[in-house]
Amino acid sequence: MSILRPLPERLLLGPGPSNAHPSVLEAMSRPLVGHLDPAFIGLLERVKDGLRTVFGTANAMTLPISATGSAGMESALVNLLEPGEDVVIGVNGVFGGRMAEVARRAGARVTTVEATWGTALAPDAMADAIGRVHPKVVAFVHAETSTGVCQPVEAIAGAAREAGAMVVLDCVTSLSGRPVELDRWGVDAAYSGTQKCLSCPPGLSPVSFSDRAIETVKARKTPVQSWFLDLSLLAGYYQGSGEGGQRVYHHTAPITATYGLAAGLDRVLEEGLPARFARHADAGARLVEALAPLGFEPLVAEANRLPMLTSVRLPAKVTERGEAKVRGQLLEDFGIEVGAGLGPLAGEIWRIGLMGENARPEIVDRLVDTLRRVLG
């Protein structure tokens, strides 16, 4: 009996993963080479350069962590925080809450600043907490995937810098779909995932750390909680050490996933970031406008609404049938996946992703036409 059996084709319009372009999948089918092969190291360096472009940074320590975005989150927090140190974390959805839990498990003293799910963090509230706590790190989410909120960065990052704190930013959903400018914003550590607006399969987490962050890691008094995510060890492989920058074995990097990321970055850079951002913005606006006559209302105010992840309140035609049943019909009968609400928004909203390759008018039209058929 075969383990690998045929799988259905899906249009992935949930919170991730998104559909990958055929060129990405083709790249992942290329022959394997070793993770220390000079040809692969050369490819890895080009990938790092591409990631610097999309992150808006010159950070030397920019690389794809060999795991998904949650490992990127852990890498930022466990490297920068030692037991007993203070961190202020903005929580307005699932992933701010996850940041807080990771920091607690690292032994940090966590102060959270809460905002209602579906709204942005108040910069004044974050600044007040920073002034009161004097934290080593301030962390928050740029694009909260659980709600579709885009958080303005500069005011909070500025308050953190004035207090001498380092800034950690979750860019999992925003990277290559909205502007990310780490150097201009003064962000010290950021992380993302390949399966969202980069339109690659999940499995890698692009991360970037400032020189100040790296010096903080080098000055630690205690070992990093995670051996696998310890930047001082990862540097030996991703940057090299000793004479000639000889690469030092740390782990076996996911070769084929890196091929796919390289192909995905090629598509991003060939399109150009301004054009890509505009395409996502146009698709998100088209979706909101097209859903309105069907009774779907956006959860998030326009000023803070993500274009690539739209959360909508459900009309009676959906809730009366059971929202899970309607989502199941979309998936089974039409091959379209949309995401459910999480936490306090479970059963109240859908999360519709138009990420990367799926941020196109014909994709919006296909979804809306299908919903008209399903809802009658």
The average pLDDT across 87-96 equals 98
* Element spanning 312, H or E: strand 309-313
pLDDT over 70 at 242, yes or no? no
What residues does 190 pair with on adjacent strands? 169, 208
C-alpha–C-alpha distance, residues 223 and 226, integer Å: 8
Say which CATH class 11-15+272-375 falls into. Answer: alpha beta
pLDDT over 70 at 5, yes or no? yes
User: What percentage of the chain exceeds 70 in pLDDT?
Assistant: 99
Do you find a cis peptide bond into 17, omega within 30 degrees of 0? yes
Which residues does 26 contact at the CB level (< 8 Å), separation at least 6? 263
The average pLDDT across 323-339 equals 98
Average pLDDT, the chain: 97
The average pLDDT across 157-162 equals 98
| Domains in the chain: boundaries | 11-15+272-375, 23-268
pLDDT over 90 at 88, yes or no? yes
C-alpha distances in Å from residue 109, one per residue of 12, 85, 99, 141, 374: 39, 6, 12, 19, 49
The average pLDDT across 173-181 equals 98
Tokens matching residue 60: 């030397």
pLDDT over 90 at 40, yes or no? yes
Residue 138 three-state SS: strand
pLDDT of residue 178: 98
Model confidence band, residue 245 (pLDDT cutoffs 50, 70, 90): confident
The average pLDDT across 22-46 equals 97
C-alpha distances in Å from residue 368, one per residue of 48, 59, 130, 290, 364: 38, 42, 44, 7, 6
The average pLDDT across 3-14 equals 96
Model confidence band, residue 241 (pLDDT cutoffs 50, 70, 90): confident
The average pLDDT across 209-220 equals 98
Q: Are 96 and 89 in contact (CB under 8 A)?
A: yes
Q: How many CB atoms are closer than 10 A to CB 215?
A: 9
C-alpha distances in Å from residue 270, one per residue of 70, 199, 230: 28, 14, 33
Q: Are 345 and 5 in contact (CB under 8 A)?
A: no
Q: Are 127 and 156 in contact (CB under 8 A)?
A: yes
What is the bridge-based pairing of β-strands 309-313 and 336-340?
unpaired
Residue 95 three-state SS: helix
Model confidence band, residue 376 (pLDDT cutoffs 50, 70, 90): confident
Tokens matching residue 242: 């000793």
**CATH fold for domain 23-268:** Aspartate Aminotransferase; domain 2 (3.40.640)
pLDDT in tens, 218-236: 999 999 999 999 999 999 9
pLDDT of residue 250: 96
- How big, in percent rounded to 5, are the helix, strand and coil portions of the chain? 45, 15, 40
Q: Is the pTM of this model over 0.95?
A: yes
